[in-house]
Amino acid sequence: MPYQSIFSRDLFRGQTIVVTGGGSGIGRCTAHELAALGATVLITGRKREKLDATVAELHEDGASAASYAFDIRDEDAVTATVAQIVAEHGPIHGLVNNAGGQYPMPLASIGKKGWDAVIANNLSGGFLMSREVYRQSMQMQGGAIVNMIADMWGGMPLMGHSGAARAGMMNLTETAAVEWAPSGVRVNAVAPGFIASSGMAHYDEKFRTETIPQMAGLAALKRMGEEDEVAAAIVFLLSPAAAFITGACLKIDGGTSLSQKMLPVPAHGASTPFHGFHRGRHRRPA
């Protein structure tokens, strides 16, 4: 069965949208939803095998898709690949800066090498992609950019490197929204909370077995989010329905970032997940 998006099936017909980190997790899910809505989806990442697997899925579903393997932290590679994309596919209408990554570690234990790597993954790479897509395409015909940040308000204990990078990406989002508005470019961000995604598999065993099981209880909705719930928010911000929204951040965290100290939310099962991704962890019955 196809992706069960709530958006119009031809919403992005005739548009080319780039999704970085599109070979797995939220990026893969977002690529599937955009493709189901008619977009030509171009996914990027460092690992060719992951990109090939996702493109094969998209083609199997009848989508128009291709992949480009490169490192978003490499300025020359970014510049050359964006030029190649424009030459092969024409104008870029949308960019989803999804690629990133981090690892849990207290600040006192983070070395400069690890700090630089996380900042480059979650901030510098997104800047380079945004800059080149703007310079080589969107400056001429407009477009929409959605940046991936995180629930970093109030600090990110055990992930201070990622928190600093995500906060920087939020400021970059606001700055670009102002500077690029005269070109018809909108720039927004999404901030997922605890999402059940394949990215969690990269954390160490203690974090997976001790920390992750506690995450659902921290949300007012008392569950973890799903990949397709993040993808739907990204699709909205890329769509014409968000034509008057720029420089904004949409939190997708089930209320985790809200203070619950005065009124703790008891355990409940009142929140029903949105299961739109036909290849996700959960599948709607046929």
Q: According to the model, what pLDDT value does residue 167 have?
A: 97
The tokens of 137 are what?
Answer: 């395409």
Q: According to the model, what pLDDT value does residue 77 have?
A: 98
3-state secondary structure of 43: strand
Classify domain 16-252 at the CATH topology level.
Answer: Rossmann fold (3.40.50)
Are 17 and 46 contacting, i.e. CB atoms less than 8 angstroms apart?
no
3-state SS of 234-282?
HHHHHCHHHCCCCCCEEEECCCCCCCCCCCCCCCCCCCCCCCCCCCCCC
Mean pLDDT to the nearest integer, 152-175: 94
The tokens of 91 are what?
Answer: 């104008």
Give phi and psi for 186, each to the nearest 5.
-100, 140
Task: Say whether pLDDT at 262 is over 60.
Answer: no
Give phi and psi for 121, each to the nearest 5.
-65, -45
Mean pLDDT to the nearest integer, 54-68: 97
**DSSP tally for the chain: helices H, then strands E:** 10, 9
The whole model's pTM is what? 0.88
Who wins on pLDDT, 152 or 247?
A: 247
Who wins on pLDDT, 59 or 198?
A: 59
11-31 core/surface letters (b: 16 or more CB in 10 A; e: else):
bbeebbbbbbbbbbbbbbbbb
Which of 45, 32, 27 lies closest to 5, judged by CA? 32
Q: Report pLDDT digits (tens) over 176-197.
A: 999 999 999 999 999 999 898 7
Torsion, Cα of 78, 230, 198, 169 (10° steps): 40
Q: Report pLDDT digits (tens) over 69-91.
A: 999 999 999 999 999 999 999 99
3-state SS of 103-170?
CCECHHHCCHHHHHHHHHHHHHHHHHHHHHHHHHHHHHHCEEEEEECCCCCCCCCCEHHHHHHHHHHH
Are 92 and 19 contacting, i.e. CB atoms less than 8 angstroms apart?
no
Task: Say whether pLDDT at 286 is over 60.
Answer: no
The tokens of 252 are what?
Answer: 């997708």
Q: Taking the mean position of all CA atoms in its chain, how far away is CA 141?
A: 23
Are 43 and 55 contacting, i.e. CB atoms less than 8 angstroms apart?
yes
Task: Say whether pLDDT at 204 is over 70.
Answer: no
